[in-house]
Amino acid sequence: MADGGGKKAVADRLSGLPDHLLQHVLSFLPSIRAVRTCVLSRRYPEQWKSVPAIRITRADAMRYLGPSALNRIVNCLLLFRNKLPLDEIKTPFLESMPFLMDAFVRLQQSDDCCQNCYEAGDCGDQSCKGCRGINYGKNTCVLLEALSSATKLELLASPEVFIFRRDLAQCPMFFKLKTLLLNEWCLTANHGAFLSPALTSFGEAYSSIHYNLVEMGASYNLKKQSLILKNFTLEIKCDQVDDRIRRVLEIFCSYGLPMEKIKIKPLPMSFDTQFHDTWSSGSRFQFRAEYIVTLLEAWSHYFEQLDIVMSMMAVLYLDNWECIDQECQF
């Protein structure tokens, strides 16, 4: 045991990181790699199961070409994660995962992009690599159906990637969903990608909303649907309130979503480089005064009772921004 000398003690230290920090480290690895770290030591075997992210990398996408193959690997990753009792698992398909409460799925550099910009793929063009690769049935829900028991979902992908949109077009029901985090993939080309750097967190009424969003060529008329928004919170993170954000606000306001259920937060500084962490960490961000003012001006479009908006502004100033720092509760 005692060979090595002093050098070893130093080198050993990284291996001595506490579990949660180790998980943080592993969360930066492609999941398949993280799984492989189980072989490192006795302490490692369980680590990857608690890692808060599932990372499917470009290399993975190359190896597991097409969404259904990719699906298989995501299935495996999800199936073996900590919250799932292993003996409950019979089949490595993402068909039903009743024990999954909390899922974070980020598709990074997926090949499932349609060169003809069909929102949900299936363009029928044989030269389109992304759509050609679809080898599952037209009415198959690749990823999301299996996650339908989740109470919290984070689904992140670049805007071109259509898997999530495609899945949502199948209209899976999320009966227990309380929080849903999405990024700009949920905004489709024929609406001018109006919510680009935005995150929304929806409540129970979510799935029917997105049914319209993903239909190719659908006109964006959510007013036709009657939604019950009483248990519904909308949260948007964005650089600034531009037309796309206004459009979103307009849509939700037209449903009668009360103001206090809308939260708007600025994007964190490191958005570009640390996408995953900033989206999921829930850290505190300072508001700037101009930001708030812009925001309220934008909002006044949507609320006829301007005096309410004005009085909110007063509260914000009085509280020196502190109260909205964490929750942005208007």
Site for another protein, rule CB under 8 A? 8, 10-18, 21, 24-30, 32-33, 35-42, 45, 72-73, 76, 80, 92, 239-240, 266-274, 277, 281, 283-288, 291
Taking alpha carbons only, the member of 201, 113, 199 closest to residue 163 is: 113
Q: Which is nearer to another protein, 290 or 307 (CB)?
A: 290
Region of residue 147 (phi > 0: left; psi between -120 and 50: alpha; otherwise: beta) = alpha
> Which candidate, 233, 239, 316, 317, places its Cα nearest to that of 278?
239
* Minimum distance of another protein from residue 224's CB (angstroms): 36
Between 121 and 266, whose beta carbon lies closer to another protein? Answer: 266
Nearer to another protein, 13 or 90 (CB): 13
Choice between 82 and 231, CB closer to another protein = 82
In angstroms, give the least distance from the CB of 35 to another protein: 4
Beta strands in the chain (DSSP E): 54-56, 102-107, 152-157, 179-182, 234-238, 262-266
* Closer residue to another protein, CB minimum distance, 14 or 293: 14
Q: How many Å is the Cα radius of gyration of the chain?
A: 22
Burial of 263 (0-12, 13-18, 19+ CB in 10 A): middle
Minimum CB distance to another protein, residue 70 (Å): 13
Name the residue nearer to another protein (CB basis): 11 or 228: 11
Taking the complex as a whole, the smallest distance from the CB of residue 76 to another protein amounts, in Å, to 5
Which residues have a Cβ under 8 Å from the Cβ of 41 and sit 6 or more positions away? 15
Give me the least distance between CB of 246 and another protein, in Å please: 17
178: helix, strand or coil: coil
Q: Shortest distance, CB of residue 205 to another protein, whole angstroms?
A: 29
Query: Which residue number, 77 or 105, has a Cβ lying nearer to another protein?
Result: 77
Closer by beta carbon to another protein, 165 or else 244: 244
Closest approach of another protein to the CB of residue 197, in Å: 9
3-class DSSP state for residue 101? coil
Q: How far is CA 7 from CA 12, 14, 40, 123, in A?
A: 9, 13, 20, 59
Interatomic CA distance for residues 114 and 123, integer angstroms: 7
Spatial distance between the Cα atoms of 309 and 72, rounded to a whole number of angstroms: 49
Of 255, 114, 263, give the one whose Cα is nearest residue 179. 263
Q: How far is the CB of 38 from another protein (least distance, A)?
A: 5
Only one residue has tokens 């259920």, namely 261
Residue whose structure tokens are 């990823």:
143
